[in-house]
Amino acid sequence: MPWNMNDYPNSFKNFDQTLRKKMIDIANSMVDAGYDEDEAIPIATEQAKEWYDNASKSEVESFEREPNPSKKDSHDNDSARPELMDEDVEVKFDEDEKNWQVKTVTADRASDLYDTKDEALKRAKEIADNKGTNVISYTKEGKKES
């Protein structure tokens, strides 16, 4: 069920209007892509919070000026892959790029890149916790850690 600024999940009600708008936008896109509402709501909440915490003032202001989400919005779902929801999350060092990558096991590319393994592990744990999966960590040399 798509949502709008007047009809949205109960769990969104105590958030700032801009943050709620972002949550609705993300959740609607995920549901359009085939995610169950029960999966989309907590993921949209976490992703919207992360966006809000990391967005510049001008990005937030630009988003606030965008039209509010509506139940008739269409979303680009060509890159959405709901099947990745059940896959574990890996943390590996990329020798070519010289960074730590957070990547769902069967994904085509990394979701996040970090300078330190600790940062990558923290993010991987957040993603895995949201999906109910595990984190697989590798050493810098590529050996799987237990």
Which pLDDT does position 118 carry in this prediction?
A: 95
DSSP E strand boundaries for the chain: 89-94, 99-104, 112-114, 135-137
Same domain, 55 and 87: no
Range(s) of the domain holding residue 124: 82-137
Number of domains in the chain: 2
Q: Is 0.75 topped by the overall pTM?
A: no
Same domain, 86 and 133: yes
Give the integer Cα–Cα distance in Å for 9 and 104. 27
Residue 121 included in any domain? yes
pLDDT tens digit sequence for 11-62: 999 999 999 999 998 898 888 777 889 989 999 999 999 889 888 888 888 8
Residue 76 included in any domain? no
Q: Strand, helix or coil at 61?
A: helix
Contacts of residue 50, Cβ cutoff 8 Å, sequence gap at least 6: none
Return the sign of the alpha-carbon dihedral for residues 115, 138, 40, 49: negative
